[in-house]
Amino acid sequence: MGRSRCADVVLRRDVAVIGAGHSVFGERNLSPKALFTEAFFEATESVDNGFDAEAIGEAYVGSLGFGGGQLGNLSSFVVAEGPAKNIPARRVENACASSGFAFRDAYLAVKSGLVDVALAGGVERMSGLTREHQRFWLGVSGDTLWERLAGVTFAGVYGLMAARHMHEYGTTKEQLARVAVKNHRFGAKNPKAQFQKEVTLEQCVNAPRVADPLGVYDCCSTTDGATVVLLARADVAKKFTDTPVWVVGSGAATDTLATHDRESLTRLDATAKAAKSAFQQSGLEPKQVNVAEVHDCFTIAELLALEDLGFCAKGQGGRFTEDGQSDRGGAVTVNPSGGLKAKGHPLGATGTSQVAEIYHQLRGEVPPERQAPDAEFGLAHNVGGSGATCTVHLFAR
Amino acid sequence: MGRSRCADVVLRRDVAVIGAGHSVFGERNLSPKALFTEAFFEATESVDNGFDAEAIGEAYVGSLGFGGGQLGNLSSFVVAEGPAKNIPARRVENACASSGFAFRDAYLAVKSGLVDVALAGGVERMSGLTREHQRFWLGVSGDTLWERLAGVTFAGVYGLMAARHMHEYGTTKEQLARVAVKNHRFGAKNPKAQFQKEVTLEQCVNAPRVADPLGVYDCCSTTDGATVVLLARADVAKKFTDTPVWVVGSGAATDTLATHDRESLTRLDATAKAAKSAFQQSGLEPKQVNVAEVHDCFTIAELLALEDLGFCAKGQGGRFTEDGQSDRGGAVTVNPSGGLKAKGHPLGATGTSQVAEIYHQLRGEVPPERQAPDAEFGLAHNVGGSGATCTVHLFAR
């Protein structure tokens, strides 16, 4: 269906992704610089026709700064001292949407005409945090005054969203669990994922509670990891590869940090606004998207994303999932990488991890069990906090 | 001289600064959000023909995140909950060059054609830090492994640079002190400055040592403050003001964090590379610049900047200063705001503070004692750490 409608749309193919690198996610016991370097070299070596790091004109590094002694000037730490000395680089921090925004800024830089090739990436080390780190930093991306200091964790906030979604729309724990079952099935086939094993519906529903109605399998894990993607202007991109993946829409938005300041607990306005902006820019419609990586930090977050991105009507995320519409072979293949849920969530590295997956999906180079069929249009959706910041990007092959 | 040569250069006037806001710098006892809001409203109210915050399409907030409970998602905290809800916003962190990079990214966003009006700003609260903050965070922008953990403070690093500059070029303590005397004289006339009083050469030279050869008047203070500037594309800018200030060059670069990894202790390569890039883009030459705000976190840093930006030859910064060439009436008026030295240095807010001063200078609206004569071309130079990150921007009226 996507393809028959494609003829109606004139897509602007002026900025492309030309390479992607992705560290293994998990407890890596490596420094942020080592993690970033792993992703960096995989990205530069992935470029079809060869690539010299000196071609990079600008670098955007998403990170909250966890896990390394170098809090300030992190971008210099991982870029200038690494393989790309003197490239203008900066850290972009928007909580768990850090590298979604890093990607948007790299896209704008290339689109400006001043930069031929830009790097967007992210890095986080979440294992081995000291007690001081945990006390001081975990939860810093949600609202501090009204939520964190009152003891509401992220699982708590999303638990409230899930309970409200159940109340308003009749969503069930089984429907939530189906998100976890699907994403772990995909993750089991992703050698970069932290959790490479399947889970059953029964395991999920009966798992220990974290923040009712969310059990342990409804929550993603934070982990170590780094990701890097390379963007280039159209004329430059064609030198590097015959099969670039085009960025055809970029949307972003913010919202209040505290959920009580929002109109609804079952809708992320930042997602809806970012999606609207990206779809308008591209001319595409949600039903044309074949494959999407969405921000499933909790299973309820994937349901909200399905609705707020326009893949299904508000309140229908549970049913859409139950009917297999978000699975391979359904209306849109959602989180074929395993998502945050199975792949793990290295905060600042997640946004460009999603872009990397869409890049490989649209090039048709993903193992068959995870490959979205006939993938022509892709979407990446990255959320910071409980919806305070969001980016949505649309891609075409 | 600047003007006679101006005819040779065809400047691209496609992005302009159309407004600037600047909180009072000092011990303010205000939250980062309150500080940011002060600068925000001054910026929007400064626009000549009126301005509605809804015109802003994108926001870039420079900050290290000091002084507020909201470490993650800070951009949402100060923007989305403030007067500009839902604007795509992100925090840009490059140590003390955070808002220099925020400005560069806002410039690239407007230049991309996707954003009509962008906000670049910065905020920091440095007073009232807890002991935990001080222990954990101060110094985080320099090299952690080889410098900070070994006990070398920023004053220590710049002290080494000063000693080496004296050794190589015969620079004197008196020449360093003249930077402080000049900048405090300017600061005494700036109602936004933290220190509004003059100092004498004798006071500076005889002041208690901080890190020999640097005394207390050779060092800037960290302080509370926020700054905001508004950028617009040419066609849009003309609606808002008849006297925009054009951004005619943007350069940025990185370098290693640790000074021992660099070729020289008396040169900041990131400054030289960023300047080269900005001058090449604009077609201007250093001698055409009438007024410059440079990153004088220490007096030696102003001398290095004079040299690395090309205002004088390497090693001649002290002589250039002694001869009054960096003072009002000299070759280039340097730091007429008072600089970091007298105005104070709220880390993430300093880069756009410099832009705000150049904006007012080129519009000729600065009190006469600080106004650079016939200012036509301006420069802003922002440094992160001890030279690991740097932006240089060139402006024309």
Mind listing the pLDDT tens digit for each residue in B192-241? 999 999 999 999 999 999 999 999 999 999 999 999 999 999 999 999 99
Q: What is the pLDDT of residue A341?
A: 98
Which residues of chain B have a pLDDT value below 70? 1-8, 68-69, 81-83, 131-139
Q: What is the pLDDT of residue A144?
A: 80
A:B CB pairs within 8 Å: 214
The whole-angstrom distance between residue B35's C-alpha and the CA centroid of its chain comes to 18
Gap between the Cα atoms of A161 and A169, Å rounded: 12
User: Which of A381, A353, A90 minimizes the C-alpha distance to A251?
Assistant: A381
Gap between the Cα atoms of A72 and B220, Å rounded: 19
Whose tokens are 């600008």? That residue is A58
User: Which of A379, A209, A207 minimizes the C-alpha distance to A305?
Assistant: A379
DSSP B239-286: HH-SS-EEEEEEEEEE--SSGGGSS-SS--HHHHHHHHHHHHHH---G
Using CA atoms, how far residue A210 sits from A166, A172, A176, A207, in Å, is: 17, 17, 14, 9
Q: What is the pLDDT of residue A82?
A: 66
Interface of B with A in 56-85 (CB under 8 A): 58, 64-65, 68-77, 79-81, 85
**Catalytic pick from B165, B184, B345, B381?**
B345
Q: For B274, name the nearest residue in chain A, comparing CA atoms only.
A: A88
Interface of A with B in 90-109 (CB under 8 A): 90-95, 98, 101, 104-105, 108-109
Q: What is the pLDDT of residue B36?
A: 93
Q: What is the pLDDT of residue A273?
A: 97
Q: What is the pLDDT of residue B227?
A: 98
**Identity at B378, one-letter amino acid code:** G
ipTM, two decimals, is 0.95
- A66, A254, A256, A308, best to mutate vs chain B, most B CBs in 10 Å: A254
Torsion angles phi and psi, residue B8, rounded to 5: -75, -20
Q: Is B297 a catalytic residue?
A: no
Q: What is the pLDDT of residue B1?
A: 32
| Residues A138 and A239 sit within 8 Å (Cβ to Cβ) | no
Contacts of A14 in chain B (CB under 8 A): none
Contacts of B262 in chain A (CB under 8 A): none
Q: What is the pLDDT of residue A68?
A: 66
Contacts of B135 in chain A (CB under 8 A): none
Q: What are the E-state strand segments in chain A? A: 15-22, 58-62, 89-93, 117-124, 209-211, 214-215, 225-233, 245-254, 291-293, 333-334, 377-384, 389-396
Gap between the Cα atoms of A189 and A198, Å rounded: 9
Contacts of B137 in chain A (CB under 8 A): 71
Interface of B with A in 236-295 (CB under 8 A): 250-257, 261, 269-270, 273-274, 281
Mean pLDDT of chain A: 93
- pTM, two decimal places: 0.96
Whether B73 sits inside 8 A of A142 (CB atoms) is yes
Length of chain B measured in residues:
397
Distance from CA of A349 to the nearest CA of B (A): 15
Whether A90 sits inside 8 A of B105 (CB atoms) is yes
Which residues of chain A have a pLDDT value below 50? 1-7
Q: Is B96 a catalytic residue?
A: yes
Write out B112-166 in H/E/C secondary structure. Answer: CCCCCEEEEEEEECCCCCCHHHHHHHCCCCCCCCCCHHHCCCHHHHHHHHHHHHH
